[in-house]
Amino acid sequence: MRPTVRRVDPRLQIMTEAIEGLIPGATPAFLTVEVTETLPGTGERRNTWTGRPDGLAERMFTALYGRPDAAEQLSPLARAEDAKRRRDLGGELSALIEGHTDLTSAPWYPARPGDLIHVHYEGAGESAAFGETYIIDAASHGFLTMRLLCHTLPDPDEASGMVGCFAVEDDPDPLMELWFEAGPHTLTIIRDGRPVHIGGAR
């Protein structure tokens, strides 16, 4: 069974967490932010804005990047399946072609031995959010293997049916299935200790 894959834009999440971190150890649900205009010399307050950390983070994000995408980000395969349900053959082909082009035109493509690939899964229903980390290794005949290094799913019974489903052996393009099914927005790819692809970043 493949886990459900959704992801919040990591830049918005980082901004929210940075604001929440202004009071170390505080419970985010109980935090508010207040911005006050104080007149010089008099100490008189004239205007005040009060809001939640996520509200302030969204204002900052919007000023820098435009409104965050409220729609759920979908993998290329999910977009193609949506178009197929609508009987939109052009949309289905476009989603698949765009997904392939996005991967193969990335400056870090193709994968290399030593690359680390982390995939993030949002929680769904009773399942907690978790992540998996894979490593690319050299295989025979110039092909590559992608094997699971670790995961963060705490329940071993649940993990046995969910983790490691994207591991492949002797594959000319080990990222293709993961890219299409999980989606680029869920992936973070590390090469030589540096991130070369950060999922969710526009």
| Res 201: pLDDT | 52
Measure the CA–CA gap between 180 and 166, rounded to whole angstroms: 11
Q: What would the pLDDT profile of 146-179 be if each residue is shown by its tens digit?
A: 999 988 887 666 656 678 888 999 888 999 999 9
Residue 95 burial by CB count (10 A; 0-12/13-18/19+): exposed, middle or buried? buried
Give me the amino acid identity at 19. I
| Res 137: pLDDT | 94
| Res 202: pLDDT | 44
Measure the CA–CA gap between 178 and 170, rounded to whole angstroms: 15
Residue 30 has pLDDT above 50, yes or no: yes
Structure pTM?
Answer: 0.60
Average pLDDT over residues 84-92: 82
Mean pLDDT, the chain, integer: 82
To which H or E segment does residue 33 belong?
A: strand 33-38
